[in-house]
């Protein structure tokens, strides 16, 4: 029985780290641009398809494909910021509506371009590692490692580098940051770029673990918003905590009930958080 639970925990952590990567990008854009980038899930989806085409069709090694996808979607994110979001930065409602438009656009294009059927990225690291009674699929293990590495990297960038501190400053008060000589426009573009790159990697990882479909973005954005609400808006550690908790819920509850039930429980928790403690677990803004 314990083996089942441990297995559930491991699978939950693997999904959890993917949620974290999605949420980090979303939280970054929310803090720095002041908008809820609803199309973040579509960037995740497009990133996944870039990885698929690079890997499966182009026979490029997975890690390199992830890097390419991150770069492509990162640049895409910067273009989006420049063209669309800069004009409505800080205005929540038009930004959400514009992002909703983007979401529709990308999903429609994806169905037309990629077809509506699910696709699979063949196992990158086939096989399992046996630890005690638990079978850790190497693909999932890789996702966990990538999650840890990228989150730590982001953490270090924000805490230690000058750019990172500039990002912190803009997230607290864009006007004050501008007065300090920080180029807010450039920081905004950078944040969208980083956020989109992270989402793309998350998509690629999910593609290798599960599957790809044109509507996978909807799943990602709902999970992403859930994570930042649970963890607290404006907090990176909150995004990590929230993502892992929701991942564990998704990993453990299906053992006793069903996947749908796990989602219901997860979202009910989020609803409760919004009603009772909107700041979330570790939020401060």
Residues that bind another protein (CB under 8 A): 36, 87, 92-94, 96-98, 100-105, 107-108, 111-112, 218, 222, 225-226, 229, 258, 260-261, 263-264, 267-268, 270-271, 274-275, 278
Per-residue tokens: 9: 């925990």
Least gap, CB of 37 to another protein (angstroms): 12
Q: Is 11 helix (H, G, I), strand (E, B) or coil?
A: helix
Least gap, CB of 13 to another protein (angstroms): 23
If you ran DSSP here, which 8-state letter would residue 43 be given? H
Nearer to another protein, 35 or 206 (CB): 35
Nearer to another protein, 204 or 283 (CB): 283
Least gap, CB of 253 to another protein (angstroms): 12
Least gap, CB of 220 to another protein (angstroms): 13
Least gap, CB of 46 to another protein (angstroms): 16
CA 55 to CA 142: how far, in whole Å?
A: 16
- DSSP string computed for 101-126: HHHHHHHHHHHHHH-SS-B-PPPSS-
Nearer to another protein, 179 or 276 (CB): 276
Spatial neighbors of 186 by CB under 8 A, at least 6 apart, are none
Spatial neighbors of 29 by CB under 8 A, at least 6 apart, are 35, 37, 40, 191, 192, 195
If you ran DSSP here, which 8-state letter would residue 257 be given? S
Nearer to another protein, 64 or 264 (CB): 264
Nearer to another protein, 14 or 226 (CB): 226
Report yes or no: 25 and 228 within 8 Å, Cβ to Cβ: no
Nearer to another protein, 63 or 105 (CB): 105
Report yes or no: 112 and 231 within 8 Å, Cβ to Cβ: no
CA 127 to CA 160: how far, in whole Å?
A: 38
**Nearest of 284, 244, 216, 225 to residue 9 by alpha carbon:** 244
Least gap, CB of 226 to another protein (angstroms): 7
Least gap, CB of 58 to another protein (angstroms): 26
Nearer to another protein, 4 or 94 (CB): 94
Spatial neighbors of 216 by CB under 8 A, at least 6 apart, are 41, 44, 45, 48, 203, 206
């Amino acid at each position: 029985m314990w083996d089942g639970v441990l297995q559930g925990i491991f699978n939950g952590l693997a999904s959890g780290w993917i949620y974290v990567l999605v949420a980090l990008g979303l939280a970054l854009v929310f803090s720095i641009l002041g908008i809820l980038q609803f199309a973040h899930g579509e960037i995740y989806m497009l990133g996944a398809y870039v990885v698929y085409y690079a890997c499966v069709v182009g026979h490029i090694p997975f890690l390199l494909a992830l890097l390419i996808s991150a770069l492509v979607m990162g640049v895409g994110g910067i273009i989006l910021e420049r063209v669309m979001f800069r004009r409505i930065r800080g205005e929540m409602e038009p930004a959400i509506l514009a992002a909703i438009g983007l979401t529709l656009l990308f999903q429609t294009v994806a169905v037309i371009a990629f077809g509506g059927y699910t696709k699979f990225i063949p196992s990158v690291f086939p096989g399992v590692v046996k630890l005690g009674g638990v079978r850790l699929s190497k693909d999932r293990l890789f996702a966990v490692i990538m999650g840890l590495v990228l989150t730590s990297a982001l953490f270090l960038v924000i805490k230690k580098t000058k750019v990172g501190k500039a990002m912190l400053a803009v997230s607290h008060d864009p006007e004050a940051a501008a007065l300090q000589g920080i180029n807010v426009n450039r920081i905004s573009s950078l944040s969208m770029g980083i956020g989109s790159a992270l989402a793309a990697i998350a998509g690629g990882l999910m593609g290798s673990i599960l599957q790809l479909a044109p509507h996978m973005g909807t799943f990602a954005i709902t999970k992403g918003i859930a994570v930042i609400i649970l963890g607290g808006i404006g907090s990176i550690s909150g995004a990590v905590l929230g993502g892992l908790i929701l991942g564990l819920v998704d990993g453990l509850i299906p053992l006793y009930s069903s996947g749908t039930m796990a989602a219901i429980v997860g979202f009910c928790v989020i609803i409760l958080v919004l009603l009772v403690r909107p700041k979330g677990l570790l939020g401060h803004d």
